[in-house]
Structure 1
């Protein structure tokens, strides 16, 4: 398949690994800022094939995982109300709130539906004019444009029984927060290619200069990851700190202007809480004043929600790159995909889910003998 099979070629992977091994002379810690990249790394054993001097740190790149507990609890409250049809992507249904999840709300009689697009939720609203239809809009810059477009369409079509529960966050402020943490060990970043395909790379040079870290825009296949690591290590070894687009087949420097215009119309910047991390200034979006009538949080008055994180869940440390999933005492024991303590274990992009799915139950596990990128 074009741009898939050719980016999983084991011979090319070995050549890239040889290049990385030949150039590295000292320890380097790199962070991938995308849950999809984390799953590729763990699935193919890339982190175990790299030189011992190169450590990959898993960052807060899973949109489900960083959605704060208070927003999950707001979703549960809204979904439980009579007359509400609550729509969400499937990966949110098992994310634990305080004491329950959306699956349990559905089991208790709530009308919770899995959709494949926010426009599906808008169509449900058109078909059910006597019901309130809410779509759970989470994610990074990648998922924000279709959610913005759906609200735009709802306003244009005069659909008044549709609203959006918003929890959108942005990558550049997260990078800033990571670099300013007193526990930060990150020396270079693999930036998320899909985010940059929307927003471009314009926000990254200032971050690279300020914190003196290379930022390499990277794709999601094994060769994409290895090439991103190779370019980052080369910069570090040379003492450079620039922004490098290693994903030009999908990312243009200016991004997608039409998507950016839609975001600027429908959303406005705001401080956002990140689960396990805390509030990061100007790190998210909320509906702008023109579209405030479509804000489910205001429509259902769920601003005052009491939340309680499980004391034994250390997903916050995982999201900050301070802890590998299998270094948590609850991992694989009291916390499993069937009984998750935190979103990092249940999300399809969560680091804990990747370690569990691909049997990284022991920190000393060696890579498989078979080709890791075949």
Structure 2
């Protein structure tokens, strides 16, 4: 349990909290850009332990949540076609499209399968040459490399009945879009350590300089997050704005060169739509032209999709940090994990799911589990 238990030490957490309390002198709003960090914050009650002057804002760091409705509807259309085996990670099956989800497609006879790796989908394609096998490739820079490798393998092995439905997004353009919004009130960012372990930190200095906001790379355990908050608040109080790597045990400035080379070969940067936010320029990837034959959108000519978001769902405001989940009128009533209106209530990294799971139903009740300070 090394790197887990030692980063949940109550005495060390109390020490970090004391330092934060001693440092802060005015209100600051910090945004964590990772759904895993959001769940850790809510699970351990970290936001309730911080000084009142510090607000943690939950950003668009859930890959399932930001997958646009149009892409979900394209997935539903492809999965419904005869002769198709549609493969996905499990948390995508209950994400609502326009009127239904992948579970309903499966109940109606569609061959929808849960896999644990894109290579599982490639193996299914090898075992079922008479079928078209599609893998739903979503996520940030963390899941893009294995999906890229799978396409590389499909081409190398000559597996022609495999394709990828791509909805990959990139974090730095999202930070840029958030800071460029007239409604933005973010003073500093806690960047996602796993994203930076792949891509490094080289894209962030330009953002810190242009918007004059600190960006602190953090991990996911309580002490990681508290240390990230401490470093961010220290910079803010000093009037500084630099990139600070508080997750050096996993992140190097250059990232992972092999993974980045694979991404550069298989994908090309493109504009992407983010669910609840809209189109962010150069914020995603699509398959490069030389791999276009493995693009499910191209192969199945999925066009003319009409989407319709539920009017009562305010997940877009949650994803932009403009609204806390329990402030949505539908939260916990007409919108629950069993009957979700939006993806933020479905995903294991969604902010609404975190608030529901840990009973943040309004106000500031004590967390369900013991806090990191015991």
- 1:255-270 to 2 correspondence within 5 Å? 255-270=255-270
Contact 1:44–1:373 under 8 Å retained in 2: no
With the length of structure 1 as denominator, give the TM-score of the two structures.
0.99
Matched, 1:237 2:234: no
* Residue aligning to 1:171: 171
Matches of 2:53 and 2:280 in 1, distance apart? 31
Q: Spell out, residue by residue over 1:160-213, the C-alpha distance to the aligned partner (whole angstroms, 9 max, x if none).
A: 000000000000000000000000000000000000000000000000000000
2:351 pairs with 1:343: no
Corresponding residue of 1:330: 330
Matched, 1:18 2:14: no
Determine the structure 2 residue equivalent to 1:214.
Answer: 214
CA displacement at 1:370 relative to structure 2: 4.3
- Secondary structure of 1:60's partner? coil
User: Offset of 1:365 from its aligned partner?
Assistant: 2.2
- Residue 79 of structure 1 corresponds to 79
User: For 1:4 and 1:367, how far apart are their aligned partners in 2?
Assistant: 20
Aligned Cα RMSD in Å? Answer: 0.9
SS for the counterpart of 1:331 is coil
How far is 1:364 from its partner? 3.3
SS of match in other structure, 1:225: helix
C-alpha change, 1:180 and 1:152, in structure 2 (3 Å) is same
Q: Which whole-Å CA distance do the structure 2 matches of 1:283 and 1:347 have between them? A: 21
Q: Helix, strand or coil for the counterpart of 1:259?
A: helix
Contact kept, 8 Å, 2:14 with 2:373, in 1: the verdict is no
User: How big is each residue's C-alpha offset from its partner over 1:207-255, in whole Å with a ceiling of 9 and x where there is no partner?
Assistant: 0000000000000000000000000000000000000000001001100
**Pairing of 1:229-308 with structure 2 (within 5 A):** 229-308=229-308
Preserved contact between residue 222 and residue 373 of structure 1 (Cα < 8 Å): no
Shift of 1:366: 4.0
Secondary structure of the structure 1 residue equivalent to 2:17: helix
The residue aligned with 1:58 is 58
Partner residue, 2:182: 182
CA distance in 2, matches of 1:63, 1:370: 28
| Partner SS for 1:356 | helix
- Pairing of 1:200-211 with structure 2 (within 5 A): 200-211=200-211
Count of paired positions:
374
CA distance in 2 between counterparts of 1:153 and 1:372 reads 44
Structure 1 unpaired stretches of 5+: none
Q: Secondary structure at the match of 1:41?
A: helix
Partner of 2:36: 36
**Deviation readout 1:289-314 (Å, 9 max, x if unpaired):** 01000000011111221000000000
Distance 1:18 1:304, change over 3 A: same
- Mark the runs of 5 or more structure 2 residues left unpaired by the alignment: none
Once residues 270 and 42 of structure 1 are traced to their aligned partners in structure 2, the CA distance between those partners, rounded to angstroms, is 33
Alignment partner, residue 47 of structure 1? 47
Distance 1:137 1:369, change over 3 A: closer
CA distance in 2, matches of 1:360, 1:60: 19
Residues 126/367 of structure 1: CA separation in 2 closer, same or farther (3 Å cut): closer
**Contact between 1:327 and 1:363, CA under 8 Å: does it hold in 2?**
no
2:46, 2:371 within 8 Å by CA — same for their partners in 1? no
**Deviation at 1:333?**
0.2
Deviation by residue 1:15-63 (Cα, 9 ceiling, x = unmatched): 1000000000000000000000000000000000000000000000000
SS of the residue corresponding to residue 236 of structure 1 reads helix
For the residue of structure 1 that corresponds to 2:133, the secondary structure is strand
Moved over 3 A (4+): 366-374
In the alignment, the residues of structure 1 paired with residue 318 and residue 19 of structure 2 have an alpha-carbon distance, to the nearest angstrom, of 30
Q: The residue matched to 2:96 in structure 1 has which SS?
A: coil
User: TM-score if structure 2 supplies the norm length?
Assistant: 0.99
Q: CA deviation at 1:372?
A: 4.0
